[in-house]
Chains A and B, each alone.
Chain A
Amino acid sequence: MNLLRNIFLRREAGIAVMIVLFCIAVGAVKPQFLTLDSLRIILLLTPLIMIGAMGQMLVIVARHVDLSIGSMLGFSAMVTGMMFKFYPEIWWPVGFLVSIGIGAALGLLNGVLVTLFRLPAIIVTLGTLNLYRGLTYIVSNAKQIDRQFVPSALKSMSQTSPIFGIPWIIFISFGIGLLTYGFVMHTRVGRQIFALGSNPIAAPLRGIAVNKVTLLVFTISGALSGLAGILYASRWGFVNPSNTGSGFEFQVIAAVVIGGVSINGGVGTVLGTVLGVLLLGCVAAALPLLGIPGTTQSAIYGAVILIALLIDRTVRQQGIASLSRARA
């Protein structure tokens, strides 16, 4: 009984309930939604968002926001794709180092602008959102990297599986989730991010190197965007200067916020974020299956995000209310 109550008191309860209700509702109309095959489809929709969401979660917990992730994804994917195209003799896994490295450098630049010039992150990253996208056009001469230049071994990471028919990129994304969990729960710096976000004024007084922590979260966000960049090339087989990563920030921030990460900083969990990502994946997979026409899908997608937030908030407030009753 206590265990059950503890489960419901957790922040993640609302979103978990939402996922279950949503899947049951869709499954009632389209039974094929509740099959392993559609689970595979949902999971394949989520790896990039999952990876981006882990970085974004850290940034938002530190009371900032990173709007430039889609452009960092696009730029690192493009440079990596150009390496594949013009230097095919380079061993392809080097692409991971290149993509992650470039992403980290761009993220670090965001962090430097935020800390050095004391600018709000929303403005800085809005600027670099455009800057990095513009640089993507410049380096690529606005030319797409076609399918034939992306190494087949990289592409097959999205199709072949080490175990249970689950493709490699899904393992990578959950691996990043686990690493993030370890980082925030079991390292000093990880805890400092939360301390900084809950009280930025008190944080330096408690000996937290605020600038270093801020630089770190933006660099991680950039590095993970870079990882998502090379995985984009794996998943879709091409890199396009305007499409690749475009709108990525909206999906990721929606997932993070649905997952219960407070936009006011200081609060958020890896599990909640993962559930937020999965809910978005369920919705994206369910809408076409239900035969909802393309013209109304984006309105419904938006409405589902709002409803999810409302349900999450209601469930949590009731949890808090019952907790205070129990104590009284």
Chain B
Amino acid sequence: MLKKTLLAGLALGMAMATTVAIAQEPVKIVYIGKNTGNPYFDSITGGFEDACKSLGCEFEFVAPATAEATSQIPFIEAQIQRGVNVIAIAPNSPDALNQVLDSAKAKGILVLTVNGDLVGNESHRDATILPVDFTKTGPNQVELMGSMIGYKGDIAILSATTEAPDQNTWIAAMNDTLKNDPKYKDMNLVATVYGDDQPEKSTTEMEALLSNYPNLVGVIAPTTVGIAAAAQVVQSRGIADKVHVTGLGLPSEMRDFVKDGTVSAFQLWSPYNEGWLAAHFAVGVLGGTIKNEVGSTFEVPNLGTITIADKNAMNTQAELTTFDAKNIDEFNF
């Protein structure tokens, strides 16, 4: 209720401002990442920055040193104090932030989750921006793996941490796809191991997979650290023709492995477009040109028509992007 009044007030303010003179304060947007030094977020930030250049908003990126559940709370509090208009966040926990996000919303701040959602606690944010419909990640990855190994043979999964919610959703979907789709009946998932998103640990887990499963023909690593570590092991052993590595990776980290043939293809989405969409959405909602309601649509330059789906969720693309030697140089993140 309070929010609606505020939005109405803002819209009114906008209308008045346009009639008198355009002297409105620029929209202040902050994006709170999972942790600092994570190249993935550089790309999302780039999308925000470029969008703000064209829309005239102010943007800042902040993030805690480590990706712990509660480490983002002080950052959110500080931004409420600062008086930003929009808090976009990649939440480190689906429930630990409920209270502090509620107090942000109570101050009239537009709260968006970007690149990860508060699953089960959607009422504590206004909308979410996700790169793709995440239910497609598992099946898309299995299909890519299958196409690399002729839909036949032993495969394994190298994941991040055992408790990561997105990883577990994807892995469960991979298991389902392998079990239920007859196309993949000759693909045999022999192990799922966890490298904790550390290069050392991911490497030892990958080495152990090769040692324990000599008939292994493929490894899916749906995590950027894992896929790079797995590729490095395959590269240094010179077994790229025997063991095929794929998964979710950043083009900037995987370029060398694709060019030397260690990895023939991998997938991801565009983190850049998440930032781009989030900034356009936020400015549109605050300016009154976009209605944050399920079913409403709006146009975003370069992305086309975006529809607000169930639970106020938006996606930047319909399917995962597949990167290979042909297209990898077109991506600069």
Contact = CB atoms under 8 A, between A and B. Distances in A.
Interface of A: 30, 32, 37-38, 41, 45, 137, 140, 142-144, 146-148, 152, 158-159, 236-238, 240-243, 284-285, 287-289, 291, 293-295
A38 B211 contact: yes
Which of B37, B65, B161 is packed against the most chain A CB atoms within 10 Å? B37
Contacts of B38: 144, 242
Nearest to A247: B198
Contacts of B211: 30, 32, 37-38, 289
Given A237-B228, A243-B199, A291-B212, 9 more contacts: A143-B39, A147-B256, A148-B255, A159-B235, A159-B236, A242-B66, A243-B37, A291-B208, A294-B161
A242 B255 contact: no
4 tightest A-B CB contacts, nearest first:
A288-B208, A294-B194, A241-B37, A242-B37
A286 B312 CA distance: 47
Contact of B199 (A30, A37, A137, A236): A236
A289 B236 contact: no
A137 B207 contact: no
A45 B196 contact: no
Contacts of B255: 147-148
B68 to A, nearest CB: 12
Contact of B253 (A37, A147, A287, A288): A147
A30 to B, nearest CB: 7
A147 B212 contact: no
Contacts of B256: 147-148, 152, 237
Nearest to B207: A41
A140 B252 CA distance: 17
B37 A144 contact: yes
Contacts of A41: 204, 207
Contact of A288 (B66, B207, B236): B207
Interface of B: 35-39, 42, 63, 65-66, 161-162, 191, 193-196, 198-201, 204-205, 207-208, 211-212, 228, 232, 235-236, 252-253, 255-256
A38 B208 CA distance: 9
A158 B252 contact: no
Contact of A147 (B36, B66, B194, B228): B228
A241 B36 contact: yes
B236 A158 contact: yes
Interface of B, helix, strand, loop or mixed by DSSP? helix
A285 B203 CA distance: 10
Nearest to B257: A147
B196 A146 contact: no
Which of B65, B161, B194, B204 is packed against the most chain A CB atoms within 10 Å? B204
8 contacts: A41-B207, A45-B200, A137-B37, A144-B38, A159-B235, A288-B208, A291-B208, A293-B162
A310 to B, nearest CB: 25
Contact of A289 (B39, B196, B199, B208): B208
Contacts of A291: 191, 208, 212
A237 B230 CA distance: 13
A299 to B, nearest CB: 13
A150 to B, nearest CB: 9
Contacts of A37: 211
B162 A285 contact: no
Contacts of B42: 143-144
A242 B63 CA distance: 12
A241 B235 CA distance: 25
A41 B207 CA distance: 8
Contacts of B208: 285, 288-289, 291
B204 A288 contact: yes
B212 A289 contact: yes
Contacts of A38: 211
A49 to B, nearest CB: 10
Contacts of B37: 137, 140, 142-144, 240-243
Contacts of A148: 252, 255-256
A170 to B, nearest CB: 13
A289 B191 CA distance: 12
Contact of B36 (A142, A238, A295): A142
Contacts of A288: 193, 204-205, 207-208
A68 to B, nearest CB: 16
Contacts of B232: 236-237
A148 B198 CA distance: 19
Contacts of A142: 36-37, 63
A35 to B, nearest CB: 8
Contacts of B191: 291
A143 B41 CA distance: 10
Nearest to A232: B199
A159 B256 CA distance: 15
Contact of A294 (B63, B162, B236, B252): B162
B200 A137 contact: no
Contacts of A143: 37, 39, 42
B118 to A, nearest CB: 24
Contacts of A137: 36-37, 65
Nearest to B238: A159
A285 B209 CA distance: 11
B200 A295 contact: no
Contacts of A284: 200, 204
Contacts of B162: 293-295
A237 B199 CA distance: 10
B205 to A, nearest CB: 5
Nearest to B256: A147
A288 B253 CA distance: 25
A166 to B, nearest CB: 13
Contact of A146 (B63, B193, B252): B252
Nearest to A251: B200
